[in-house]
Amino acid sequence: MNPDTATLDPGARPAAGRSIKSLAELEAAALRDLEILDYPLKSWIRPVAREDGAHVFDVVVIGGGHSGLCAGMALKREKILNSIILDENAAGEEGPWQTYARMPDLRTRKSVTGAELGYPNLTYRAYFEARFGAAAYENLKRITCDEWTSYLQWMRRLLDVPVRNGVRVDLIDRVGGVFRLSTRENGKSGLVYARRIILASGPLSTGGTNIPEPIAEGLPKHVYGHVYDHVDFGALKGKAVAVIGAGASAFDNAGTALEQGAGEVHLFVRRPHIPRLSLIRWTDFSGFLNTYADLDDDQRWKLAAEVQRNPSPPPIRALNRVDKRPDFHIHFSSPVSSARMDGDKVVIVTATGEHRVDHVLCATGFSFRLDKAPLFASIAKHIALWRDRYTPESGGSDKFPWSPYLGRHYEFVEKIPGEAPWLKYIFNFTQSATLSMGPTGRVSGLKYGVRRLMIGVGNSFMREDFETHLASVRRYNDSELDGHPWVEKPLAKV
């Protein structure tokens, strides 16, 4: 818990020049906003049945982190009601916040909006102020991970967003005109059918974690791990630990290891220094967030290459967490060229020398390799990637060519037109959409992303069900004027 909020008494309401609500009052106000703005009311998606009677959802959202939750809230608002979110974790443990985000607070500024879908009484600020008061919000520096989790769970409960926890989707394939999702729940296999899929399954679902080759090839698995996986810090007590990477997670994990009793931590950085600029911050303006996806390929590639010309540096708090500790050692200009065992010690070989440690933690991010992700085993071959569609003059990260080349509303595009036309019914709302769509997965991208996503999902139903809607308008026969002498007789019911 962050001391900024942990020390606040929820009961103490500092006086301020604006009305401060209790949580109960806020909830009532938020529900009223939803009710007032609940137009149009009609649910409109054509029901689809399978011959065997199995239920077919309109939309299955895979992943119940903040992206999936917001997508689920927005589907309700758009009256696409036969939808569900599936998440492999227990409620409250979706996403990284309670597990592998080993940082006290979010990197995002507290003023960010988007998750609330534009309802002021559902903003993080309203949620915080209702419990701690406006003055406390003024003093708040950052949103803690615990608070972010609590906020998301609050919205989920209040809006009654349909989430099924503890369900892992193992495979997506296409059967009989709908998607078939093979699931695992409480150790049992199951099948779920859907007309549309929204992938909100986070950064690890589209290719997995990235382990540097020298580590994967040179070391047995028990001496290394990735920081986005479970790490048994208890087992590192008194040990020498190597951390590879220079991003926020590298420093967060170095700090966590030392705070939990590691003997020493050596952090290996490829570059001669930590980059100064967090270029992703530059993208925080509506022109970029709202319209990037509509730029042409060349423009998107060039802008994205600039934004990623250096990796995002850690926040200053992550550096301060370790920089004064005598048991922390940073090694610049030290890319790992190889690694080997020497007895029970790990030898890390870098340009600046050899280092003996007991364990290695890779803070080296994730990859976008749909072809390597089990979830996409039966469909990846059909999905167009940037390398299939665009040849850059230069620049861009290693991930760019492998990024899925998406349509304007997050939908997958076929590699070979005509081979898998149903791919456009899968909407990729994960980080792997970033080159095509701009910041995705990040809190700052939600505001524009969810809106665009809903246009895409809605469009796709309207187009596919066009004949149904045409027949419906032709049959339309309701009028409050019926019976008035000036008014034509109603059409015969068809």
Ligand X SMILES: Cc1cc2nc3c(=O)[nH]c(=O)nc-3n(C[C@H](O)[C@H](O)[C@H](O)COP(=O)(O)OP(=O)(O)OC[C@H]3O[C@@H](n4cnc5c(N)ncnc54)[C@H](O)[C@@H]3O)c2cc1C
Smallest gap from Cβ 391 to ligand X, in A, equals 29
Smallest gap from Cβ 342 to ligand X, in A, equals 32
User: Is residue 473 within 8 Å of 479, Cβ to Cβ?
Assistant: no
Smallest gap from Cβ 282 to ligand X, in A, equals 15
Q: What residues form DSSP beta bridges with 185? A: 167, 188
* Tokens describing residue 99: 């597990």
- Please say which residue, 68 or 212, places its beta carbon nearer to ligand X: 68
* Cα–Cα nearest to 229, from 208, 255, 207, 257: 208
Long-range contacts of 91-96 (CB under 8 A, 24+ apart): 91/153, 91/156, 91/163, 91/165, 92/149, 92/153, 94/63, 94/64, 94/65, 94/68, 94/69, 94/152, 94/165, 95/65, 95/66, 95/202, 96/65, 96/202, 96/228
Smallest gap from Cβ 456 to ligand X, in A, equals 17
- Please say which residue, 101 or 243, places its beta carbon nearer to ligand X: 101
Smallest gap from Cβ 230 to ligand X, in A, equals 12
In angstroms, the CA 103 to CA 251 distance is 9
* Tokens describing residue 69: 């939750």
* Cα–Cα nearest to 198, from 389, 460, 436: 460
In angstroms, the CA 217 to CA 339 distance is 8
Smallest gap from Cβ 167 to ligand X, in A, equals 6
Smallest gap from Cβ 460 to ligand X, in A, equals 21
Smallest gap from Cβ 93 to ligand X, in A, equals 7
Smallest gap from Cβ 89 to ligand X, in A, equals 5
Smallest gap from Cβ 70 to ligand X, in A, equals 8
Q: In this structure, what DSSP letter does residue 344 have? A: T
Helices then strands, counting H and E runs in the chain, come out as: 15, 15
Tell me whether the omega of the peptide bond preceding residue 374 falls within 30 degrees of 0, making it cis. no
- Please say which residue, 13 or 376, places its beta carbon nearer to ligand X: 376
Smallest gap from Cβ 1 to ligand X, in A, equals 16
- Please say which residue, 197 or 258, places its beta carbon nearer to ligand X: 197
Question: Mind giving me the DSSP string for 156-184?
Answer: HHHTT--EEESEEEEEEEEETTEEEEEEE
- Edge to edge, the sheet with strand 353-357 lists 336-342, 345-350, 353-357
- Please say which residue, 322 or 443, places its beta carbon nearer to ligand X: 443
In angstroms, the CA 185 to CA 87 distance is 10
Sheet strands (E) in 351-431: 353-357, 359-362, 426-428
In angstroms, the CA 246 to CA 311 distance is 8
* Tokens describing residue 397: 């990260």
- Please say which residue, 308 or 350, places its beta carbon nearer to ligand X: 308
Measured CA to CA in angstroms, residue 58 lies from 190, 424, 425 at distances of 18, 14, 11
Smallest gap from Cβ 18 to ligand X, in A, equals 27
- Please say which residue, 249 or 308, places its beta carbon nearer to ligand X: 249
In angstroms, the CA 234 to CA 376 distance is 35
Measured CA to CA in angstroms, residue 187 lies from 166, 184, 201 at distances of 10, 6, 20
Smallest gap from Cβ 398 to ligand X, in A, equals 18
In angstroms, the CA 432 to CA 300 distance is 14
Sites of contact with ligand X (CB under 6 A): 62-68, 86-89, 94-96, 100-101, 106-108, 168-169, 200-203, 205, 249, 375, 430, 441-444
Report residue 349: phi and psi, to 5°: -105, 125
- Please say which residue, 133 or 314, places its beta carbon nearer to ligand X: 314
Find the helix or strand (DSSP H, E) in which 347 lies: strand 345-350
In angstroms, the CA 171 to CA 151 distance is 31
